[in-house]
Amino acid sequence: MAHYHKLGSIPKKRHVTYYKDNGELYAEQLISSEGFSSEYTLTYHHYPPTLVTEIEEAVDVSPDFMELDLMVKRNFSGFDVKPGGDFLTSRQVVLGNQDLYIALAAPNIKASGIFYKNSQAHEMVFIHKGKGVLKTMLGHIDFVPGDHLIIPKGIIYQMEFEGDDNRLFIVESFSPFHFPKRYLSNSGQLLENAPIYERDIRRPERLESIDELGDYKVLIKRDDKLYTYHYESHPFDVVGWDGCYYPYALSIHEFEPITGRIHQPPPVHQTWEAHNFVTCAFVPRLFDYHPQAIPAPYNHANLDSDEVLYYVDGDFMSRNNIEKGQITLHPMGVAHGPHPGAVQRSIGQKETQELAVMVDTFKPLKITKQALNIEVKDYYKSWKS
């Protein structure tokens, strides 16, 4: 998302002297992507961001993937993940491949002053339940249910929740999240026919510049290992920044659905694209208005992608017995479609109030041991009449 933004105090030009009131220099840092060839941000710190005093032994946090048959439709009860831990330790990876991990979390405690930096992946954190504030080195973003939080790789952050009843759906991507190219002009502006508009994007606010020295722990994830770095300067000592590389929020409730006279294919629901996968948002919308329209989706076999649907709210018209927080996995090359009775129920209906987040991957997904603990058995048989 190459939209320029700035917060706090910055010098008139980049890479020039910028002095504090006491005559010392602020420390400039360039946070860049793709080897200085893509989006970047310049930050200015009270102290150099290199004051490391200790690095603890790394902890392996690799997902526990199982060797299972990948050509089986599966269903998982996401709300069966028991609450426990903070915004980081509560995460349980359930699906993944070489391009992304999909995790669930039910944090119910505060983060105890720990800071986190994912140097392995960009993150999309979908807030299903709970509200609070995403605190980052570049400023804070308030969040509520329905928000997607996009946190680029390398940004130090914390998440603080107001209560203990929280549910998150998380995608860790090993490539950046971008808006689909067909939504953008040649200069990067979101087009008039896009379901997202720049006003819908909530950028960081309330830059918290902390001029303190001490012992600050930053957990850094890289290569499926978690490193504990001890810094002498506070991670949120940024006095100002500008650029195009920063976290932001986009609510699923701001996504404007594209509808048509007959059933529209899944790409009209797309929110982001990354390397070898896309994400989508299914939101309340009017159904198709051809007099003989069948609003329920037709049977289909997507030969090139695994389809993951995370059910958020409402009555998902194509499925029977689906509850909030459930995840369905429909593997590539295997036909799936409406459950028995769904086609007939949909005929003549004018609208839907469903909410769901979809992830389509172009490489097969593997299943973790944690996912098997919440699997709904024999889901593939649920199409029998």
pLDDT higher than threshold 80 for residue 317? no
Six-digit token string for 194 = 């896009």
pLDDT higher than threshold 90 for residue 6? yes
Q: What is the pLDDT of residue 132?
A: 96
pLDDT higher than threshold 90 for residue 156? yes
Widest Cα–Cα separation across the chain: 78
Contact 301, 73 (CB under 8 A): no
Which residues, in sequence order, are CB contacts of 381 under 8 Å at separation 6+?
A: none
Q: What is the pLDDT of residue 385?
A: 61
| 159 strand-pairing partners | 134
Amino acid at 53: T
- Please give the full DSSP string across 329-366, using - where no structure is assigned: EE-TTS-B-PPTTHHHHHTT--EE--EEEEEEESSPPE
d(CA 98, CA 78): 22
Contact 368, 66 (CB under 8 A): yes
pTM attached to this predicted model? 0.96
Six-digit token string for 94 = 């359930």
Six-digit token string for 65 = 């993937």
The whole-number average pLDDT for the span 223-232 is 98
d(CA 306, CA 49): 41
Six-digit token string for 49 = 């961001």
Least confident segment among 79-83, 119-123, 219-223, 291-295: 291-295
pLDDT higher than threshold 80 for residue 50? yes
Backbone angles phi, psi at 69, to 5 degrees: -65, 120
| 231 strand-pairing partners | 52, 216
Contact 288, 259 (CB under 8 A): yes
pLDDT higher than threshold 90 for residue 314? no
3-state secondary structure of 47: coil
Six-digit token string for 67 = 């060797």
**Which domains are seen in the chain, by residue range?**
50-63+81-238+247-252 (2.60.120.10), 257-376 (2.60.120.10)
H helices, E strands: number in the chain: 2, 27
| 184 strand-pairing partners | 190
Burial of residue 152 (CB within 10 Å: 0-12, 13-18, 19+) is buried
Q: What single-letter DSSP state applies at residue 299?
A: P
Q: Dihedral sign, CA of 3, 8, 10, 12?
A: positive
Q: What is the pLDDT of residue 360?
A: 97
Q: What is the pLDDT of residue 321?
A: 78
3-state secondary structure of 370: helix
Which residues, in sequence order, are CB contacts of 229 under 8 Å at separation 6+?
A: 52, 54, 55, 217, 218, 219, 220
Q: What is the pLDDT of residue 160?
A: 95
How many CB atoms sit inside 10 A of residue 151's CB? 27
Six-digit token string for 104 = 């669930």
3-state secondary structure of 374: coil
- Angle (CA) 43-179-169 rounded to 5° is 85
- Convert the pLDDT of each residue in 347-368 to its tens digit: 998 999 999 999 999 999 999 9
* Percentage of the chain modeled with pLDDT above 70: 99
pLDDT higher than threshold 80 for residue 320? no
pLDDT higher than threshold 90 for residue 75? yes
The whole-number average pLDDT for the span 139-153 is 98
Q: What is the pLDDT of residue 109?
A: 86
pLDDT higher than threshold 70 for residue 1? no
d(CA 345, CA 330): 22
Backbone angles phi, psi at 267, to 5 degrees: -60, -20
CA-closest candidate to residue 95, choices 375, 381, 322, 318: 375
